[in-house]
Amino acid sequence: MQTHEIRQRFTQHFVNAGHTAVPSASLILDDPTLLFVNAGMVPFKPYFLGQQTPPFPGGTATSIQKCVRTLDIEEVGITTRHNTFFQMAGNFSFGQYFKEGAIKNAWSLLTNPLDEGGYGLDPERLWVTVFLDDDEAADIWEHTIGVPAERIQRMGMEDNFWSMGIPGPCGPCSEIYYDRGPEHGKDGGPIADDTRYLEIWNLVFMESIRGDGDKKGGFDIVGELPKKNIDTGMGVERVACILQGVDNVYETDLLRPVIDRAVEVTGARYNEGNADDDVRFRVIADHSRTAMMIILDGVTPSNEGRGYILRRLLRRIVRSARLLGASGEVLEEFMNTIMDTMTPSFPEIAENRERIVRVAVTEERAFMKTLVSGTHRFEEAAAATKSAGTSKLSGSQAFELHDTYGFPIDLTLEMAREAGLEVDMDAFDAEMQAQRARAKADNKAKKQGNIDESLYREWVDASPTEFVGYTELNHPGKVIGLIRGGERVGEVSQGQDVEVILDVTPMYAESGGQLGDRGRIVVGDTVLDVHDVQKVGKKLWVHKATVRDGGLDVGQLVTAEVDPTWRHGARQAHTATHLIHAALRQVLGPTAVQAGSMNKPGYLRFDFNYTEQLSDAQLREITTITNEAVDADLAVNTIETSLEEAKAMGAMALFGENYGSEVRVVEIGGPFSIELCGGTHVGHSSQIGPVAVLGESSVGSGARRIEAYAGMESFRYFSKEAALASSLAAELKTPTDELPARIAQLTERLRAAEKEIEALNRQQLVSQSAQYVAKAQQAGQFTLVALTLAEGIGAADLRTVAADVRERLGAVPGVVALASVSGEKVPFAVAVTTEGVGAGVKAGDLVKLLGGYVDGKGGGKPDLAQGSGSNPAGIDAGLAAVRDELTRR
């Protein structure tokens, strides 16, 4: 049974049982505790936490959620049942059925015959575990389902009790295991061997509230939940192993094709006795799928957060392929293969195929350059290790290669073996553990930042705000809530900051990149200045305001007034964002996909996934297309419709956004632009006014940003530019249209003059070389010139002088060490004669010695090296240290 069918059967089974089928959320949610969605229940967390009321008819739901877990990324492939990306099929009950219902639902799907929609598993091969004192679950399994008592095992907190790791809902679990047979391990159930007995389903009976403490049980149960909930998760990949008759998750229909392709690309063999190679093949398969799915949801490689995880995944693929024998680029092959296997379950892959390949290949090419620099650094470290008379590369050097150069440790180990060296893995592991501890502490700190929306729960459930701002700028409303300092209050007075909740408001709450409205709330002599509006639970508008005059009580009738100037500018900028997006896709093609935006009155920025810098010609074309759309006076229409109908219309959706069943489509000029958007817009494109594209820049690997002005801000910008051009024209006595040529001419003359001055200065410096040689002194067997030159001499000139003085020393064991102060930097250089190198002195070693005294670093060849520091006070001591080092030899 193919994985796609396994998914279909699961969903249909629970729909038939009355559950609402919920599409998988994006891997990226607005949750400060998570980089990626890592469990099927994550999108339902607000309902389990009691922050929102479940919107599902009957209070039950089912989903197949895409998940990513990367905590132990280095362990991938070593075991054959864990993936960084996996699909968690789950069913959820919010106060409806409990233990018996969850157990019956799971058992019937697993054991029902194929022709009845089940998976047809042999009940005799299924074992279950329950929490130590969960007699109720054990009784249901034995007397209601009919599982023999000897196949029901009890486990403790670590295995069979669930919580989110922070105070909140928790409860005992019951897990279902499949016996794969004696060839996979010893008899005795999951307690005896959890390799032979494969866990395929976890049923969480959420009934209690836990307090502070660690996840493994170091916490108290502080209460019971008002309603008992069910959260279950079936591992799609693990069930696929069983139903497809394969040994592990890498042999299923989704991942084995990638391994087969890797065999073709690398020439190595899989599963033929080389355990290290087998791990590399599994890393390629696992990471290719995870990276592809992460890119699909809008992430691009970077050096932090989600982008850093993606970068690690892609680089581990490349590294593994190279260790298997690949010499060229590989990611395009692997991405195309995994997209072929995954598209039946995720059709949206097809329309993003080109973009996914582009992001992956761009990162691969960047990593190839990193490999060059990392290899150079390794060769330096290896040479230094051998010259020190040891055969073990230090752990700190290996960690520097890993952390600074992105050099994987197993590639370092491979190269070390080729060089006849070992690696101090104990020290390397200590460095890695310290880094993980820092990351874990940071992650724990982030978990404490989970926003508590329970304060707003009553209003979210009972009195969601009615937004009338698409057609109204002033509207009466009733104050249904006041919050001050994180607490509900009944009244506020002059000078106080407050969050005001109204039953009806014309003020737009920040979303979709558009900032919240500014304005006032007034009643009689009372005036509150509203400086921001935010949404809670996607239903409640919270007005952040300051009481300017008077006071306000809960229950009062007030009038909310949007600042019309603010709204007009916001409409212009937001609508201009749509036009720029459409223009981008015309110029760059469909792979230029929006990755975020921000707009406020008169200004917008637009982020998009693209791997290359835009040319001036492309920017001009984007600007022209945008302003032609403004000039065409295109009608801006809004359509309320279903999500399915909107997609059928061709409306574009944003990555990371979760849309309800009913959506708002903004259409500009028919096919010119059609997007899902809840923002405010002008009625016709001409109302935007001119759009001035300021430029574009990089905001990370594979992500670019365009910034622009709209309306009066564009006019002011153009006026300022025109005034500047007129001023330059007058100053240079040149017509405005000839300014570019005139400025280019002057710039070229200036560059030529600067080069001439540099050459003269260098000649003057070199002419003083004889004076420097005259100051030579003896340091042991070496002739040494160690001087601090005049202030302002840069690194390039210092290197030139050092090389010239070295030549003037003649055929003697000689060393030249020079330093200077240039601005805030301390450049320094060391040159060694041929005879000096022959006597065992290396310029690079002396540069490092000198750099330690001036808070700098450096490197180079044995006969010439240089560096730069920041502490001029250490120059004399550094030069003295060079002299002492030579004297000791």
Specify the CATH number for the domain of residue 13. Answer: 3.30.930.10
Q: Are 358 and 591 in contact (CB under 8 A)?
A: yes
Same domain, 307 and 377: yes
CA proximity to 636, closest of 586, 581, 711, 578? 578
Return the structure tokens found at 325: 């024998």
Domain with 478, as residue range(s), is 454-562
Residue type at 805? V
- Helix, strand, or coil (residue 366): helix
Q: Which is higher by pLDDT, 650 or 674?
A: 674
Q: Which is higher by pLDDT, 435 or 76?
A: 76
202 pLDDT more than 60:
yes
Same domain, 170 and 27: yes
Is the sign of the CA dihedral 726, 729, 730, 735 positive or negative?
negative
How would residue 215 be classed by pLDDT, with cut points 50, 70 and 90? low
pLDDT at 32: 64
* Burial (Cβ within 10 Å: 0-12, 13-18, ≥19) of residue 289: buried
Which residue in this structure is represented by tokens 């307690």? Answer: 191
Same domain, 515 and 613: no
DSSP 73: G
Same domain, 277 and 426: yes
What is this structure's pTM? 0.65
| Final residue belonging to a domain, choices 513, 541, 562 | 562
Return the structure tokens found at 94: 């919010």
| 689 located within any domain | yes
Same domain, 101 and 215: yes
**Mean pLDDT, residues 143-159:** 94
139 pLDDT more than 50:
yes
Number of H helices, E strands in the chain: 26, 35
- CATH code for the domain of 864: 3.10.310.40
How many other β-carbons are positioned within 10 Å of the β-carbon of residue 825? 16
pLDDT at 663: 86
Q: Which is higher by pLDDT, 552 or 768?
A: 552
Is the sign of the CA dihedral 503, 507, 510, 512 positive or negative?
positive
pLDDT at 395: 87
Buried-state track 60-71, b at ≥16 Cβ within 10 A, e below 16:
bbbbbbbbbbbe
Same domain, 98 and 230: yes
How would residue 246 be classed by pLDDT, with cut points 50, 70 and 90? very high
Mean pLDDT of the chain: 89
Under 8 Å CB-to-CB from 862, ≥6 apart: which residues?
832, 837, 842, 843, 844
Is the sign of the CA dihedral 117, 120, 123, 128 positive or negative?
negative
Residues 152 and 127: their CA atoms lie apart, in Å, by: 6
Annotated binding site: 574, 578, 677, 681
| 785 located within any domain | yes
Q: Which is higher by pLDDT, 401 or 578?
A: 578
Same domain, 53 and 179: yes
| Final residue belonging to a domain, choices 447, 475, 496 | 447
Same domain, 474 and 546: yes
Same domain, 107 and 184: yes
- Helix, strand, or coil (residue 839): coil
Annotated binding site for Zn(2+): 574, 578, 677, 681
pLDDT at 410: 67
CA Rg, the chain, in Å?
34
- CATH code for the domain of 611: 3.30.980.10
* Residue 95: HSE in the Cβ half-sphere, 13 Å Cα cutoff: 15
Residues 702 and 358: their CA atoms lie apart, in Å, by: 9
Same domain, 310 and 200: no
| 726 located within any domain | no
Percentage of residues in the chain having pLDDT higher than 70? 95
Same domain, 91 and 192: yes
| 760 located within any domain | yes
Residues 543 and 456: their CA atoms lie apart, in Å, by: 13
| 727 located within any domain | no
Helices (H), 343-424: 348-351, 353-387, 395-403, 409-418
Read off the pLDDT of residues 440-482 as tens digits, 9 standing for 90 and up.
Answer: 555 454 444 344 566 787 787 777 899 999 999 999 999 999 9
Same domain, 77 and 209: yes
| Final residue belonging to a domain, choices 531, 562, 593 | 562
pLDDT at 493: 94
* Burial (Cβ within 10 Å: 0-12, 13-18, ≥19) of residue 127: buried
549 pLDDT more than 70:
yes
The pairing of beta strand 814-819 with beta strand 782-788: parallel
Read off the pLDDT of residues 78-133 as tens digits, 9 standing for 90 and up.
Answer: 877 678 999 999 999 998 999 999 999 999 999 999 999 999 999 999 999 999 99
Read off the pLDDT of residues 573-629 as tens digits, 9 standing for 90 and up.
Answer: 999 999 999 999 999 987 787 888 899 999 999 998 887 889 999 999 999 999 999
Number of separate domains in the chain: 6
Residues 208 and 169: their CA atoms lie apart, in Å, by: 6
Read off the pLDDT of residues 499-548 as tens digits, 9 standing for 90 and up.
Answer: 999 999 999 999 888 999 999 999 999 999 999 999 987 789 999 999 99
Return the structure tokens found at 594: 């929006």
